[in-house]
Structure 1
Amino acid sequence: MLNSVSIDAILSQFWEFLKTMVNIRRRHFLQLSVGAGLAVAAHACSQPQSKIAQGDGSESPGKIAVGFWPVASGLPLFVAVEKGYFQAAGLEVEAVKFANPNQVAEALIAGRLQGTGNGVASGALGLAEITSPGLFKILTSNPSNVNYVLDQVIVGQNSDIKSIQDLNGKAFATGPGAQNLAIAEAILSAAGVADPKVQQLEISQHVAAIESGQIDAAYTLEPTGTVGVVKGITRVLENGVVSKYILGDAKAPWFGGSAALSSKFVEQYPETTAAYAEAYRRAVQDIRDNPTEVRQYLTGYTAIEGELVEKVPLVGYTMYDEFTPEDIAYFQKYFDFMTDKGIFSRPIDVAALMYKPA
C-alpha cells in the first residue's frame, strides 16, 4: 500500500502551486524586485552564461540551469539528465527543483534559470510573458486529454452521481485561485449545471473532503484521482474535462505545461539550443517507446514513489516541430480562455512563443 506521508507530500506539491494562483493575477510576478522594470532588466542583463569561447568561435554557455516542478509531467528532463543525454551532447545541465511553477517563472524572469522542464504550468509562463515580453521560447509542451490524463472530476467510490450533469445542487470543490475557479465554473456551465456554486479547497484535501461528506465532487489534478482510487475512497467521474468542456473535444490537447528556454539564451547560443533540443527529444522518444521502463526516473525528482510510480498516468509530449496548426489552435483557445476570464491582462499569441531553429 502507499505510504500516507508520500501521498500527503504528492498532493501538497499541487496545493503549493494552486494557492499561489489566488494572487498571481494581481502580482504578475512583480515581487521579484521593486517593480516590473527591474524584473525586465534582470531578464535582459543577468543571464549567468560564459562568453563565447575564444579561438575557434564555438559556443561555450557553461552550466545550463533548468527549473522544474516535481510532478510526473516533468519526466523528459529527469530522463535526459539521468540517462546522460545532455552530457552526450556536450552540455552541462543542472535540474533545479522549485516548490511551484510560479517560482520557476519568477527565476526565469530574474535570469537565475536558462530554461524550464515540462510540467511547469503554461498559464504561469503566460503570466511571465505578460510581465516580460519576449521572455522564452517553447521547446516541448505536455498535452493532456481523456487519454493522457491530468485533469478530472472525482466523486465518492459509492456515490450515486453518474455524470457531471448530476451535480446540480451538489457540493463541488476546486483548487484555490482564480484560474481553477474559472475552469471549474466553465466545466459545470458547459455540462448544463445551472447556477454552479463552487468552493475553493486545498487540492490535498479533496479526497478527504469527499470521504467526510464535506463535498460531493471535485475538479482536481492527478495524482489525486489515482491516490483516491488506490485508497478505496473515490472514483473518477470523468477525465480530460478541460479538453471536453473548455476546448470542445475530449480528445483535444490541453497544453497545460511546457518546457522552454529563455529567448536570450536561444539567441546567444543557437547551436547549443539545437543540441539541447535534440537531447530533450531523445528523452521524449524514450517515454513514448518505453513508458514502463522510464517511470523509475520519477523517484527522487518527485514525491511519487512505491505503488504510485506504476499507477500514475503519464501525459503526452509535443516537440516544437511536431505542433500541427490544429494543436496551435487548441493551445491558443486555452490562452484566449485565460484572457476572457481575466487571468491574463492581455492576449498572448501562442505561435510567437514557439522555438524556431536559427
Structure 2
Amino acid sequence: MKRTRRIPSIVAAAALTAALAGCSGDGDGLEQVTMAWLPITQTMPLYVALEEGLFEEAGLEVELTKFENPNQIVDSLTAGQVEVGAPGTAAGITMLAEAKFPGTFKFFGLQGGATEPQRINDALVTVEDSPIRSFSDLKGKSVGTLPGIQWETITKHLVREAGLDPERDVEVVPLGVSLHIPSVVNGDVDATLSLEPVGSVADDEPGTRRAQVNPAEQYIADPFYSGASVLTTDFIEERPEVARTVVSVLDRATKMINEDFEGHKAVLAEYAALDERQVKVVAQPQLRGFEDLDETDLRSYQALVDVFREEGVLGKDLDVNDYVLTSEDLEQKQ
C-alpha cells in the first residue's frame, strides 16, 4: 500500500514558478540550487530534467558538481557544499552519514534494479572467455567495484553470501566508473561489480560480458536500491518551497523516463559519456520518485541498510522510515 504522505501534485508545483520568480536568486529571477551527481544510469531523471528545461520552467537554476566517487557526493552534502544529491546518490552511504551526523538528510526517491519486470542495476562483469560465472567463482580472484564504503561493503556481502570469505578469498579493488571495463580488459582485475550503464556496455562490447546480472537483487533485496535522491535538512528548513519544487521536477522527469525510457535514453550520451551505439543497448533502471514510494520500496531500502549493520559498518540500527521525506517537511514555516 502506498504512503499517504504526499507533496503537492506536479501541476500545483508548477504554480509555484511565479512565486519563485520573485524570490532572491540571480538576475533572471531564478532560484539557485546546488546539486551533486554521479555519471550513471540511475541519475537519468536529472539528465532529462536538464535537457527538457524542467528546472528553468519551474523557476530554478541548478549548479551541478560531478563526482566519480559515491562517497564524495555524500561528503559534499554533509559539508553543506551542495543542497541536493541527485538520483543515484549512494543510498547506503547516506544512512552511514546520517548515523554519524543525525538530522542531516531526507530521501525522496530510490533507484536500482528489479527482476520482474527486469530492471538492470548491477552486474558482475568479466572478459568473454573467463571461467567466472558468478560470485561463487571468485575464490583467489580480484573484483573491482566503485570506490567508497558502500560498494566495498555490498561486494564483500555478496562474496560472503556466495560462500566465500571476503577477507581471505577475494581481493576487492576500488575503481572509478570509467575504469571498470578497461581494468577487466587489461587484466588488472578478474571481474568488476558494476553499475549501469557499465554492464550493458560490457555485454555489447567484443571481449567482455555480464557474467551475472543483478547479483544484489538475488542476494540482498528485490527490488534492490543502491541509489537515492537526497535533500539536506538545512535546505528543506531554509527554503521549503524551493525544495518542494526540486522534488516535483525530478518526480516529473522520473515519470517521463518510466513511461518512455527508449525515447529519453539518448541523454546518456552526454552525461554518461556513451556513444550512440552504446546508448542503444543500455538497460532500463528501476526508478521511483517521491510519489511512487511504497512499503515494498522502503523494505528494500531497509534491507540494504541492514547489510551495513550485519557487515559491521553501521554501528546502530536505523529505520529508513524515519528519514523519508514527508509533505510536512516541505511546508512553509511561519
TM-score, shorter chain, exceeding 0.5:
yes
- Percent of aligned positions that are identical: 27
Please give the alpha-carbon distance, in whole angstroms, between the structure 1 residues aligned to 2:190 and 2:66: 34
Residue 128 (structure 2) pairs with residue 157 (structure 1): yes
1:123 to 86, 92, 98: 92
Matched with 2:159 is 188
Structure 1 residues 108 and 232: CA distance shift in structure 2, 3 A: same
Residue 202 (structure 2) pairs with residue 233 (structure 1): no
Deviates more, 1:95-104 or 1:335-344: 95-104
Matched with 1:300 is 270
Shift of residue 317 of structure 1? 1.2
1:198 to 140, 156, 170: 170
**Secondary structure at 1:155 match in 2:** strand
Deviates more, 1:134-143 or 1:197-206: 197-206
Structure 1 residues 170 and 132: CA distance shift in structure 2, 3 A: closer
Unaligned runs of 5+ in 2: 1-18, 26-30, 329-334
Shift of residue 101 of structure 1? 2.7
Runs of 4+ with deviation above 6 angstroms? none
Counterpart residue identity of residue 297, structure 2: D
Please give the alpha-carbon distance, in whole angstroms, between the structure 2 residues aligned to 1:177 and 1:278: 30
Counterpart residue identity of residue 304, structure 1: L
Instruction: Please say if residues 42 and 112 of structure 2, whose CA atoms lie closer than 8 Å, have aligned partners that are also in contact.
Output: no
Structure 1 residues 327 and 60: CA distance shift in structure 2, 3 A: same
Shift of residue 206 of structure 1? 5.1
The aligned length equals 298
Structure 1 residues 86 and 171: CA distance shift in structure 2, 3 A: same
1:284 to 240, 246, 254: 254
Matched with 2:305 is 335
Matched with 1:21 is none
Please give the alpha-carbon distance, in whole angstroms, between the structure 2 residues aligned to 1:205 and 1:317: 25
Structure 1 residues 93 and 205: CA distance shift in structure 2, 3 A: closer
Residue 65 (structure 2) pairs with residue 96 (structure 1): yes
Structure 1 residues 206 and 69: CA distance shift in structure 2, 3 A: closer
**Secondary structure at 1:120 match in 2:** strand
How big is each residue's C-alpha offset from its partner over 1:296-351, in whole Å with a ceiling of 9 and x where there is no partner? Answer: 22233332333222222231211223222222112111101112212223332211
Shift of residue 283 of structure 1? 0.6
Instruction: Please say if residues 151 and 219 of structure 1, whose CA atoms lie closer than 8 Å, have aligned partners that are also in contact.
Output: yes
Unaligned runs of 5+ in 1: 1-54
**Secondary structure at 1:96 match in 2:** strand
**Secondary structure at 1:351 match in 2:** helix
Matched with 2:13 is none
Equivalent residue runs for 1:317-336 within 5 Å: 317-336=287-306
Instruction: Please say if residues 145 and 239 of structure 1, whose CA atoms lie closer than 8 Å, have aligned partners that are also in contact.
Output: no
Instruction: Please say if residues 270 and 357 of structure 1, whose CA atoms lie closer than 8 Å, have aligned partners that are also in contact.
Output: no
Given the two structures, how large is their TM-score scaled by the length of structure 2?
0.78
Given the two structures, how large is their TM-score scaled by the length of structure 1?
0.73
Residue 234 (structure 2) pairs with residue 264 (structure 1): yes
Counterpart residue identity of residue 84, structure 2: G
Matched with 1:45 is none
Structure 1 residues 159 and 342: CA distance shift in structure 2, 3 A: same
Shift of residue 83 of structure 1? 1.1
Please give the alpha-carbon distance, in whole angstroms, between the structure 2 residues aligned to 1:63 and 1:194: 48
Shift of residue 188 of structure 1? 3.4
Please give the alpha-carbon distance, in whole angstroms, between the structure 2 residues aligned to 1:103 and 1:63: 21
Shift of residue 286 of structure 1? 1.1
Counterpart residue identity of residue 91, structure 1: L
**Structure with more strand by fraction:** 2
Matched with 1:355 is 325
How big is each residue's C-alpha offset from its partner over 1:231-271, in whole Å with a ceiling of 9 and x where there is no partner? Answer: 32122222111121123xxxx12211111222122223333
Matched with 1:314 is 284
Shift of residue 162 of structure 1? 4.9
Instruction: Please say if residues 251 and 291 of structure 2, whose CA atoms lie closer than 8 Å, have aligned partners that are also in contact.
Output: no
